[in-house]
Every structure is written in C-alpha cells, then in structure tokens.
Amino acid sequence: MAIVLGENRYGKAENRVFRITRQGDTHEILDLNVSVQLMGDFTETHLTGDNAKVLPTDTQKNTVFALSHKLGPLEPEAFGIALARHFIGTQQYVSGAEIRIEQYPWQRIVSKGKPHPRAFRRDGSHVRTATVRASREGASLRAWVTSGLEKLVVLKTGDSAFKGYLRDAFTTLKETDDRIMATEVTACWRWSTCDPSKLDGVDWATSHRTAMDTMLAVYADHYSLSLQQTLFAMGEAVLKQQDAIAAVRLSLPNKHHFVVDLSPFGQRNANEVHIAADRPYGFIEAVVQRDDAPPPPATWPNW
C-alpha cells in the first residue's frame, strides 16, 4: 500500500470583473464573479513542492481581467468557454478547467420617466450562473456547459396542498389543502452538446431569460400537490421549450410559513397571519431530463 495523490485541482476564485461598454453616452455594464479551477499534471508540486508546472493563481487572475478586456462583454457561458479554451490551449500541463461564473443583474434607474443611460440599481431578485467544464480531447476541446440561476425567492398563497402522505409512528403533521408554498430556487440546466463549436450561435441571454420566465410562470400557474410535483413541472417546461438542453437540476428548500395559533386569545386565524420560519426546512432536489440525455461530465468528488 502506498499513499498517492488523487483528484486535484487549483485556481483563482472570485475574480470580481466589472465591465463598462460605452456607446456614446449610453453605457452597458456587465458584473461578473469568475472562478477558475485547473486540472492537469500537478503531481510534482504536491509531492515535492516543485512548482515548474504550476501557473500561479495570480497569473490566472491577470488572465481573467486581460481576456475580459480583449474579448469584450461576452455572456457568462461564452466567457467561460473562452477562458477554458485559453488555459487548456496555451498551457501544456493543463488538461482540464472548470470556470464558474456568477452574473449579478442590474437595472437602469428610471429618472424623469426614462431609463438613465449611465446609472443603475442592483436587481437583487436572482443571480445568474454559468459553469463550463472543459477538457482537452486531442487537438480540440470538449466543453460541458450549464446555465443556471440562484437566490430566486418565490411564494404562492394559494393553489398548494399537501395530503395523502405516508404515516408512521412519528407523524404529527396535519393534512392541508391551503398552504403557503415558498422556496428559493437554485436551478441549473446542462446543454446536450459538448462540442463548443455547436454552441457558437446560442443566444445565451435570451435562453436564460426565457428559461427563468418559464419556470416562474409554471410555478405560479401550477396547482401543487407537492413541492416535488412543482419541481418536475418547472424542469419539464424548460426542456419542452429548449431542445438543446439535456437536463435541468433543481434544488428547492421549502421555506416554511406556519399559520399562527391565535385561539388562546380568542381569535380565529383563517390562514391569514403566518410566522416565517428559518430552520429546519424541507429540501427537495431532483434532475428532470430527456431519456436520451448524454451523461453528465465528471465533477469534483463530493463525498
């Protein structure tokens, strides 16, 4: 028996890239948080501290900013592919890369009834995400792309029931056909192809906006018998809408809002006044996928 190096990677995390693109007096902005992880031939630095094959994370940071300048305001998925291509294409010891990008949305401030050309406010309703996992394949690149979103908090005050569930000795929950159902959506969807040339024409912004709008509409319109059912319906709608997406993964914490018992004070609370609870919370996770979806890429071991 010997002790050996297993899976490993390294990089520079949370490079906060903020870009202005000027078209005369009107400015567009792009606000990204870019994290780079590189995989490759890094055994020596682990075993002996010989750094000859190590591209410093400081250099990776410089590269992120310099490429952002050179390439202009790319969508997160496209910037991720470009960064992966750069590191794998120019660094002989790098065989793979994972680029994770968060995009923070902004809206123009409205002044005198018009969107201002150079002033913005944060749209705190969600964070857009993109992840590119790429590897060298001979002379070319394979790139698995996922798009997604986080921190999208939604709540519905009707059209939600939970009953008919399994009971055992530890069951005390009452059935209900009128409950608040609230969650904070974390969603990501992976693209079928891993040939980056086939992704060149994707309109990432439109795809993302329609995916989010679709999930929101399904959530709103759906009569929910369980959060699982709602989850499946949300993922299914995205797949029906966009052929190039292979699968959707959703993580939905059940943000409980409990009806407050006011009967000790002689008040009848008809599901009107609730207390919003923090912990514990239900947590529902699932993948909705095409039955012919290609397998997902290898990911960092999460045991």
Segment 29 to 88, residues that bind a copy of itself, using CB under 8 A: 29, 31, 35, 37, 42, 45-59, 61-63, 65-66, 68-70
Check binding of 17 to a copy of itself (CB under 8 A). Answer: yes
Check binding of 171 to a copy of itself (CB under 8 A). Answer: yes
Beta bridge partners of 228: none
Helices 204-221/76-90 angle, 10° precision: 130
Give the separation between CA 189 and CA 288, rounded to whole angstroms: 9
Check binding of 210 to a copy of itself (CB under 8 A). Answer: no
Q: How far is the CB of 214 from a copy of itself (least distance, A)?
A: 10
Measured CA to CA in angstroms, residue 125 lies from 57, 151, 153, 265 at distances of: 32, 7, 7, 38
Stretch of 74-82, 134-142, 194-202, 248-256 contacting a copy of itself, by CB under 8 A: 248-256
The dihedral over CA atoms of 129, 132, 17, 57, expressed in degrees to the nearest 10, equals 130
Q: How far is the CB of 201 from a copy of itself (least distance, A)?
A: 22
Cβ atoms of 42 and 53 within 8 Å: the answer is yes
- Burial bucket for residue 89 (CB in 10 Å: 0-12, 13-18, 19+): middle
Q: How far is the CB of 198 from a copy of itself (least distance, A)?
A: 18
Near a copy of itself by CB under 8 A: residue from 23, 139, 166, 200? 166
Check binding of 126 to a copy of itself (CB under 8 A). Answer: yes
Please choose, from the candidates 111, 181, 189, the residue with its C-alpha nearest in 3D space to the C-alpha of residue 145. 189
Please choose, from the candidates 98, 80, 81, 82, the residue with its C-alpha nearest in 3D space to the C-alpha of residue 40. 98
Stretch of 77-85, 134-142, 193-201, 252-260 contacting a copy of itself, by CB under 8 A: 252-260
Stretch of 75-83, 112-120, 134-142, 196-204 contacting a copy of itself, by CB under 8 A: 112-120
Question: Cis (ω within 30 of 0) for the bond into 280?
Answer: yes
Q: Which of 45, 53, 57, 257 is catalytic?
A: 57
Stretch of 74-82, 109-117, 135-143, 200-208 contacting a copy of itself, by CB under 8 A: 109-117
**Residue corresponding to tokens 């060298």:** 136
Check binding of 265 to a copy of itself (CB under 8 A). Answer: yes
C-beta of 205 vs 273, nearer to a copy of itself: 273
Start-to-end CA distance of the chain, whole Å, equals 22
Check binding of 1 to a copy of itself (CB under 8 A). Answer: yes
Is 208 assigned a catalytic role? no
Cβ atoms of 11 and 40 within 8 Å: the answer is no
Is 46 assigned a catalytic role? no
Element spanning 68, H or E: helix 57-71
Using CB under 8 A, which residues numbered 274 to 293 contact a copy of itself? Answer: 274-293
Q: How far is the CB of 137 from a copy of itself (least distance, A)?
A: 18
Is 69 assigned a catalytic role? no
Catalytic sites, residue numbers? 12, 57, 256
